[in-house]
Amino acid sequence: MKQYFRRTLLCLFFPLLWAVFSFAQPTVEAGFYNEKIDMFFLDDFDLSNPSANPPLFWIRITNDATDRNVTLTLNVESELYGLLASGTTKPFFLSADTVFTITNCDLAAGASPFELQDYTINQEAATELTNAILSTGMLPSDNYRFQLTLEDVEQPAISSQEEISVEITNPTTIELVSPGQPVGEGELPIIYTRLPQFVWDSNAKEFIITVCEKLPTNSSPEDVMDNEPRYSGSINSTNFLYPASGAWPLEPGKTYYWQVKAIVQSSSGTIELKSEIWGFTIGTTQSSRTSGQQTFYLNLLNDLLGEEVVQQLFSDEGELHDFTPTGVLLIDGSPATLQELQNLVQQIRDGKYKIKSFQITQ
């Protein structure tokens, strides 16, 4: 069991290499087959059958015109756990003017001349790390540092050290914020804009957002999301403004469902993390029947003041009941474009500016 853990820890950490190390004579290059991996699963490191492990990284060693015997030493550190492990390969021969490549499978295989030997583990840190791995099946989120030394056995002076680090984030959360509410939790909210701002929280980096119309023939939320999308696209942000052009217009009186998928690169390949399915209905007030540009203004107002405030303003008793935007836009008393207004709204969302109060004038 102890030896199994040592080898498992090796396979968990060593694949994270990404650098080019230049030495006085020989050189070694290393890199991921997939450079965007944010998540590692323990099941991808079966040391009882190393050849079945996925090819996560490659190492290319280049020698000069001199035959050499060299060793490679690895130290692994973590910001949370400190020194985790260290080990050195047996000396292996580099013939003159040779270039060869190995993979993580070679480092783990018992019959490989490149297997790390004398691999020692910080038992206290290892226990904490093991508990964290067993609770999730993944390498914990942390910053991991790797110190490598390539050394000529006969001439130790011909050596070099390099430290690299990698941030493992393990994206696992995706929660919708607005517009609407989870489908199945009562009557869906009515919003008074055909260009809603979609917002969600997630620790992932890449997303696909899909908006579908609910049809009379649909029997479940999943059935709705199988309809032809009114919009579907990739985004690298946690908010999205429904486009005024280039997408199927959202129509007053109709109900729409939406869902976000987080795209995560893992040691097993690409994973899609699906959010709940939320829904909303487009209101049929005069304001929701305006042109696309006018609706765009209204949507930005909705983003500035909040859906609840805007709905109150445009309700039957609201101060803006039956109001139709004129399309005239001023910022600090000077004419402004839609793009300038949108930039201002984004700065408010980012916290650069704060709305203290607002007033409606006739």
Q: What is the CATH number of the domain that holds 125?
A: 2.60.40.10
Residue range(s) defining the domain that contains residue 317: 174-349
pLDDT at 214: 95
* Average pLDDT value over all residues in the chain: 76
Could you tell me the pTM of the whole model? Answer: 0.58
CB-based burial, 345-357: b 16+ in 10 Å, e otherwise: beeeeeeeeeeee
C-beta of residue 13 within 8 angstroms of C-beta of residue 76: yes
Count CB neighbours of 176 within 10 A.
20
* Residue type for position 263: I
> Does residue 54 register a pLDDT over 80?
no
- CA torsion sign for 280, 284, 287, 290 is positive
pLDDT band at 56 (very low <50, low <70, confident <90, very high): confident
Residue 204 backbone dihedrals phi, psi, to 5 degrees? -90, 175
Same domain (yes/no): 253, 292? yes
Same domain (yes/no): 345, 261? yes
Same domain (yes/no): 152, 180? no
pLDDT at 227: 95
- Nearest Cα neighbor of 183 from 242, 253, 255, 262 is 255
Q: DSSP of 38-79, one letter per residue? A: -B-BGGG--TTSGGGS---EEEEEE--SS-EEEEEEEEEEET
Same domain (yes/no): 159, 217? no
The Cα–Cα gap between 277 and 318 comes to 31
pLDDT at 207: 94
pLDDT at 213: 96
The region of weakest confidence among 66-80, 92-106, 253-267, 341-355 is: 341-355
Residue 355 lies in a domain: no
Residue 354 lies in a domain: no
- Nearest Cα neighbor of 203 from 224, 173, 231 is 173
For 179, counting Cβ atoms within 10 Å of its Cβ (0-12 exposed, 13-18 middle, 19+ buried), the class is buried
More confident residue, 277 or 5: 277
- Nearest Cα neighbor of 315 from 346, 286, 357 is 286
pLDDT at 232: 94
pLDDT at 244: 78
pLDDT at 328: 65
Same domain (yes/no): 141, 179? no
* Residue type for position 153: V
C-beta of residue 328 within 8 angstroms of C-beta of residue 334: no
> Does residue 111 register a pLDDT over 80?
no
